[in-house]
Amino acid sequence: MFGRRKKSESAEDEAGVTEQVAEEVESAEGADGEPQRVNLPPAPRPDGPWDVSEVTSPDEGRVDLGGIFVPGVEGMELRVEVAGDAIVAATVVLRDSAIQLQAFAAPKKEGIWGEVREEIATGITGQGGHIDEVEGPLGWELRAQVPVQLPDGNSGVQLVRFVGVDGPRWFLRGVISGQGAVQPEAAGVLEQIFLDTVVVRGEGPMAPRDPIVLKLPEDAQMVAEGVQQEEQAESRFSGGMGQLQRGPEITEVR
């Protein structure tokens, strides 16, 4: 189903490129002399997510949402989220876990996941939450404890994972909540859904970071309970935290 990319010609060439990139990162300084983040080219994606040009049948076993093809899994519920009049995100709910998928336009030769992680971390810590940046099964990710108000009125935290992958002129972000945020056995299916997702960037001009607009499948019916209105947060990459399914929570005693 998936096309294969060409391997690098030699390990020496690959090592040379790595060394050159490292030197560029170390030498990058701002006007104040402090090191600045350098946006590197998108890393290889041998296991996905996929660009539509890399698959032979993107609709095989997937739901066509226009800007992305979402893998179908038995027992899942698929919800879409809107901003204004546009559908901008899809959420797969599977038992006690969920993953929200959202694709954005990105620069042609630069990945943006590093910058996005910083923005998300700043936003959550500014709300009093806690962030750990770790290298997980899908690459670098953020594991967050987000402040929430519990049904009984007490304060608590919700555990959430932010994952992301840079592709050719696009960026795919996933927000894993519920049991999938804390239990590896529950996360496995959601991680595979993320990796099997196909992104359709399109050839039209788009500003970097603009959301890739989605559409409903032709045979889908719009129901009020299945469509959530997403309010624009200060950072569009914050994941619509208020729209996440309630997951594992820890009560804080104050």
- Mind giving me the DSSP string for 170-215? EEEEEEEEEGGGT-HHHHHHHHHHHHH-EE---SS---TT-B--B-
In angstroms, the CA 39 to CA 34 distance is: 16
3-class secondary-structure state, position 217: coil
- Residue 251's closest CA among 149, 176, 179, 171? 149
Same domain, 34 and 82: no
Cα distance between residue 161 and residue 171, in whole Å: 17
Claim to verify: residue 80 and residue 131 sit in the same structural domain: yes
Whole-number Å distance between alpha carbons of 168 and 179: 31
Same domain, 153 and 212: yes
Q: What is the C-alpha to C-alpha distance for residues 99 and 163, in angstroms, rounded to an integer?
A: 10
Cα distance between residue 117 and residue 57, in whole Å: 32
Cross-strand bridge partners of residue 92: 78, 99
Report which residue type is found at 234: E
Tell me: pLDDT of 98 over 80: yes
- Please check whether residue 133 lies inside any domain of the structure: yes
Instruction: Check residues 241 and 188 and name the one with the higher pLDDT.
Output: 188
> For residue 199, is it within any domain?
yes
Give the CATH number, domain containing residue 233: 3.40.1000
pLDDT tens digits, one per residue of 186-233: 999 999 999 999 999 998 899 999 999 899 877 665 554 444 444 333
Residue 44 lies in a domain: no
Q: Flag whether 45 is in a domain.
A: no
pLDDT in tens, 36-83: 555 677 888 889 999 999 999 999 999 999 999 999 999 999 999 888
Does 152 score more than 80 pLDDT?
Answer: yes
Q: Give the amino acid at 248.
A: P
If asked whether residues 82 and 204 sit together in one domain, one would say yes
| In a shared domain, residues 149 and 242 | yes
Question: CA nearest 228: which of 139, 131, 113, 102?
Answer: 102
Q: Quick one: which of 160, 184, 168 has its CA closest to 244?
A: 160
Residues 67, 142: one domain? yes
Q: Is the pLDDT of residue 122 over 60?
A: yes
Residues 6+ apart with CB under 8 A from 205: none
H-type alpha helices, the chain? 11-27, 113-126, 184-196
Which has more confidence, 142 or 229?
A: 142
For residue 156, give the H/E element and its range: strand 155-167
Q: Is the pTM of this model over 0.85?
A: no
Are 111 and 16 found together in one domain? no
Residues 32 and 143 reside in one and the same domain: no
Q: Within this chain, do residues 55 and 166 fall inside the same structural domain, yes or no?
A: yes
In single-letter form, the type of residue at position 164 comes to G
Q: In the predicted model, is pLDDT for residue 176 greater than 60?
A: yes
Is residue 2 a part of any domain in this protein?
no
Task: Based on the fold, state whether residues 15 and 138 are members of the same structural domain.
Answer: no
* Phi, psi (rounded to 5 degrees) for 220: -85, 155
Same domain, yes or no: 56 and 20: no
Q: What was the pLDDT predicted at 34?
A: 52
Q: Do 130 and 84 belong to one domain?
A: yes
Residue 142 lies in a domain: yes
Q: Report the domain count for the chain.
A: 2
Q: Is 233 helix (H, G, I), strand (E, B) or coil?
A: coil
**Domain carrying residue 166:** 50-218+225-251
